Amino acid sequence: MQINTLIIGGARSGKSNFAQKLALESGKKVLFVATAEAGDEEMRRRIEKHKESRPPSWNILETATDTGREILDKAGDEGVIIVDCVTLLVNNIFGRFNYQAGGQTGESPVEKEITREIEELIECMNRLKADFIIVTNEVGMDLVPANETGRLYRDWLGRANQQLAENADRVYLMVAGIPLLIKPDRNP
């Protein structure tokens, strides 16, 4: 039976480590989908450190956008697919539009693209027989961003997280490296 898991939490809460632990414990073949882009030297070092933490037997897919389509093209006989992370995926879309806030009304092109991206990822999850482990940041428990652009990003990521949580069988909230199951399996 396929189980889709969403792991959500703050920065440095242990989300990625927990996702990798779940994948290893499954004993299944893994496809690791990395969404990070090295925009500067510090980010490049973070990406390298992340790569070093993964088992060499895992298949890797690096994709900044079009994640659902890329997974469908790359996935083979993997039993587990980790997507790490939706936070950077939304950021990548945001950056491609070079978004500038300024009193827009209605749904913006950025929001439409984020919605399309998340819907395609959910469709991919529903089409493949693999277990999915999706990693994302919880952005609704922090301070309200000081500017409109920050608030819109928080809102769009928050809506993406809600869509993914609704379609997940189980959801874990990570706090200080401790996983808290907040949505148990629908079919235990």
pLDDT digit string, tens, across residues 139-171: 988 788 888 888 888 999 999 999 999 999 999
**Residue 177 in 3-state DSSP?**
coil
Give the pLDDT confidence of 38-47 residue by residue, as tens digits. Answer: 888 998 898 8
Instruction: Answer yes or no: is 44 within a domain.
Output: yes
pLDDT of residue 100: 57
Domain that holds residue 57: 4-183
Q: For residue 45, count other CB atoms closer than 10 A to its CB.
A: 11
The residues annotated with a catalytic role in the active site are: 50
Query: How many structural domains compose the chain?
Result: 1
Nearest by Cα to 5 from 81, 57, 73: 81
Give the pLDDT confidence of 54-113 residue by residue, as tens digits. Answer: 999 999 999 999 999 999 999 999 999 999 999 999 999 988 876 555 555 456 888 999
Instruction: Answer yes or no: is 80 within a domain.
Output: yes
d(CA 148, CA 151) in angstroms, rounded, equals 5
Q: Model's pTM, two decimal places?
A: 0.92
Instruction: Answer yes or no: is 188 within a domain.
Output: no
Instruction: Answer yes or no: is 22 within a domain.
Output: yes
Instruction: Answer yes or no: is 112 within a domain.
Output: yes
Instruction: Answer yes or no: is 79 within a domain.
Output: yes
Across residues 27-35, what is the average pLDDT? 97
Instruction: Answer yes or no: is 77 within a domain.
Output: yes
Find the CATH number of the domain harbouring 60.
Answer: 3.40.50.300
pLDDT of residue 148: 84
